[in-house]
């Protein structure tokens, strides 16, 4: 393009402006050429404007839609509980009671599964849409990002249990090929059971710390209390999160809160727990043993668990975390006194002998109490006497507690 033409485009004055004294001779030829260019220029201008019209039309449409949205009444969000028949369903609206509502013809029936989020029309009488699954921030928060500071070394005793847990949970996540080669299916999940305070939660924390897999942790009782009416949905989303982030371990602590035997499902609360359990069973059934998702559950009430959860193919590997024996207690003492200055007369093995029947949590309480005794006496070193005093205190408290629970049992018996 000649410099003259460029000037033409850039000035309003037109042809006269570009005829400078230097190129006055060939100005006739150039003028002809410029005319062609000028036409091209105008054509491109037209195209540009057409595009501009298109763009503005899109904008108009956008604002029209926006006005429509602003004027339309809000829909009500709800969670589908169950279908009554092809035309009606029970929905829990996010604001209030359970509603029995109609289902609009346009709603795809295959998406209407219990736990789905749905939109109700403004009067709350009809399902008009199924909402897409969204990533619930609550559910995401179940993923343990900051791994706890507990390692296998912080667990006293329980060596056999740790070995078994790693074999069932970590090995298949790390080396699925091994299992394919041998031709066996590893269990999908394990249940840690045993009396309170003996290290079930602790062990799971160590797994969270030491395994490379995504660790997702939920607490059964929390699920029942915090997410009333949403237990089933949360369970579903937890497992979908696990599958997305596989290899993953789902840890369900206090599973008895959602998996107690179905004795009587009279109240709506029980029905809700029931639905949560059914969803959990469905989820565990839903993934294959080698799908790189493992479930660890823990309970101190295995006696009240619904047998369905323990059926082969579900949490069929049971690992007992019993009250520690003397050796176990010794090792728990060792773990908790690791950072303590002990005087020479402290014999942990003897202490272990004195604490028959106590749990890991109680042994930890003894160690803490012994430390307090030393502080109270203005010492930096913890002595045997500090420990023995602490043992007596914890034992007597245990007896008081036992007394209270026996009394309660007795009064219950009288009442019945």
Ligand X SMILES: Nc1ncnc2c1ncn2[C@@H]1O[C@H](COP(=O)(O)OP(=O)(O)OP(=O)(O)O)[C@@H](O)[C@H]1O
Residues that bind Mg ion (CB under 5 A): 200-201
Element (H, E) at 90: strand 88-93
Tell me if 255 sits within 8 A of 306, measured CB to CB: no
Cβ-proximal residues to 385 (8 Å cutoff; 6+ apart), any chain: 373
Residue nearest to ligand X (CB): 360
Of residues 20 and 151, the one with the C-beta less far from ligand X: 151
* Shortest distance (Å) from residue 99 CB to ligand X: 38
201 binding ligand X? (CB under 6 A): yes
394 binding ligand X? (CB under 6 A): no
* Shortest distance (Å) from residue 321 CB to Mg ion: 10
Interaction partner, residue 156 (Mg ion, ligand X, none; CB < 5-8 Å by kind): ligand X
Backbone angles phi, psi at 187, to 5 degrees: -60, 150
Taking alpha carbons only, the member of 245, 248, 246 closest to residue 169 is 248
Of residues 155 and 293, the one with the C-beta less far from ligand X: 155
Taking alpha carbons only, the member of 185, 155, 183 closest to residue 336 is 155
Of residues 194 and 247, the one with the C-beta less far from Mg ion: 194
CB atoms within 10 A of CB 134: 9
Binding ligand X by CB under 6 A: which of 115, 157, 231, 247? 157
Q: How far apart are CA 5 and CA 40, in angstroms?
A: 12
Q: By rule CB under 6 A, what count of residues binds ligand X?
A: 19
* Shortest distance (Å) from residue 402 CB to ligand X: 16
- Burial of 229 per CB tally in 10 Å (0-12, 13-18, 19+): middle
Angle (CA) 162 164 165, round 5°: 65
Q: How far apart are CA 146 and CA 209, in angstroms?
A: 9
Of residues 157 and 186, the one with the C-beta less far from ligand X: 157
Q: How far apart are CA 134 and CA 333, in angstroms?
A: 47
335 binding ligand X? (CB under 6 A): yes
Footprint on residues 280-309 left by ligand X (CB under 6 A): 298, 300
Of residues 4 and 324, the one with the C-beta less far from ligand X: 324
* Shortest distance (Å) from residue 336 CB to ligand X: 6
CA-CA-CA-CA torsion for 214, 219, 223, 225, nearest 10 degrees? -150
Of residues 18 and 142, the one with the C-beta less far from ligand X: 142
Of residues 299 and 337, the one with the C-beta less far from Mg ion: 299
Taking alpha carbons only, the member of 307, 310, 229 closest to residue 273 is 229
Side by side, the strands of the sheet bearing 214-219 are: 214-219, 248-253, 293-299, 189-193, 317-320
Of residues 196 and 269, the one with the C-beta less far from ligand X: 196
Mark the segment that binds ligand X (CB under 6 A) among 115-123, 195-203, 206-214, 276-284: 195-203
355 binding ligand X? (CB under 6 A): no
Mark the segment that binds ligand X (CB under 6 A) among 256-264, 278-286, 347-355, 359-367: 359-367
Binding ligand X by CB under 6 A: which of 79, 91, 116, 198? 198
Q: How far apart are CA 369 and CA 201, in angstroms?
A: 22
Footprint on residues 361-390 left by ligand X (CB under 6 A): 361, 364
Q: How far apart are CA 416 and CA 407, in angstroms?
A: 14
Tell me if 279 sits within 8 A of 248, measured CB to CB: no
Of residues 275 and 364, the one with the C-beta less far from ligand X: 364
* Shortest distance (Å) from residue 301 CB to ligand X: 9
* Shortest distance (Å) from residue 79 CB to ligand X: 30
Interaction partner, residue 335 (ligand X, Mg ion, none; CB < 5-8 Å by kind): ligand X
* Shortest distance (Å) from residue 361 CB to ligand X: 3
* Shortest distance (Å) from residue 143 CB to Mg ion: 19
Footprint on residues 59-118 left by ligand X (CB under 6 A): none
Interaction partner, residue 155 (ligand X, Mg ion, none; CB < 5-8 Å by kind): ligand X
Print burial letters for 5-26: b (CB count within 10 Å at least 16), e (below 16): beebeeeeeeeeebeeeeeeee
Of residues 241 and 370, the one with the C-beta less far from ligand X: 370
User: Hey, which residues does 226 pair with through a beta bridge?
Assistant: none
Mark the segment that binds ligand X (CB under 6 A) among 69-77, 127-135, 199-207, 366-374: 199-207
- Please give the residue ranges that form the binding site for ligand X (CB under 6 A): 155-158, 196-202, 298, 300, 321, 332, 335, 360-361, 364
């Amino acid at each position: 393009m000649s410099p003259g033409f460029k000037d033409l485009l850039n000035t309003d004055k037109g042809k006269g402006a570009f005829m400078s004294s230097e190129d006055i001779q060939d100005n006739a030829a150039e003028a002809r050429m410029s005319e062609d260019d000028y036409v091209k220029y105008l054509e491109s201008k037209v195209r540009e404007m057409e595009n501009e019209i298109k763009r503005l039309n899109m904008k108009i449409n956008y604002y029209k839609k926006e006005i429509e949205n602003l004027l339309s009444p809000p829909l009500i969000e709800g969670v589908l509980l169950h279908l009554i028949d092809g035309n009606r369903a029970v929905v829990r609206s996010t604001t209030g009671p359970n509603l029995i509502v109609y289902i609009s013809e346009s709603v795809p029936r295959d998406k209407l599964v219990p736990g789905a989020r749905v939109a109700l029309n403004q009067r709350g009488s009809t399902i008009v849409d199924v909402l897409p699954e969204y990533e619930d921030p609550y559910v995401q928060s179940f993923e343990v990002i900051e791994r706890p500071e507990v390692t296998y070394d912080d667990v006293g005793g329980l060596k056999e249990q740790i070995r078994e847990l790693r074999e069932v949970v970590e090995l298949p996540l790390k080396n699925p090929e091994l299992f394919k080669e041998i031709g066996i299916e590893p269990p999908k999940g394990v249940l840690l059971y045993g009396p309170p305070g003996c290290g079930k939660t602790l062990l799971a924390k160590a797994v969270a710390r030491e395994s490379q897999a995504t660790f997702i942790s939920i607490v059964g009782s929390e699920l029942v209390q915090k997410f009333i009416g949403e237990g089933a949905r949360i369970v579903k989303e937890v497992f979908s999160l696990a599958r997305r982030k596989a290899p993953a371990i789902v840890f369900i602590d206090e599973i008895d809160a959602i998996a107690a035997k179905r004795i009587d499902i009279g109240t709506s609360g029980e029905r809700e727990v029931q639905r949560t359990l059914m969803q959990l069973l469905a989820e565990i059934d839903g993934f294959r043993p080698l799908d790189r998702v493992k479930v660890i559950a823990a309970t101190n009430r295995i006696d009240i668990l619904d047998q369905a959860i323990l059926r082969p193919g579900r949490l069929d590997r049971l690992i007992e975390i019993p009250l520690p024996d003397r050796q176990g207690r010794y090792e728990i003492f060792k773990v908790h006194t690791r950072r303590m200055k002990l005087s020479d007369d402290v014999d942990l093995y003897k202490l272990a002998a004195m604490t028959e029947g106590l749990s890991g949590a109680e042994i930890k309480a003894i160690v803490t109490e012994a430390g307090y005794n030393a502080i109270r006496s203005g010492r930096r070193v913890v002595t045997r006497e500090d420990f023995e005093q602490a043992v007596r205190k914890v034992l007597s408290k245990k007896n008081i507690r036992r007394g209270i629970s026996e009394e309660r049992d007795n009064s219950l018996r009288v009442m019945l």
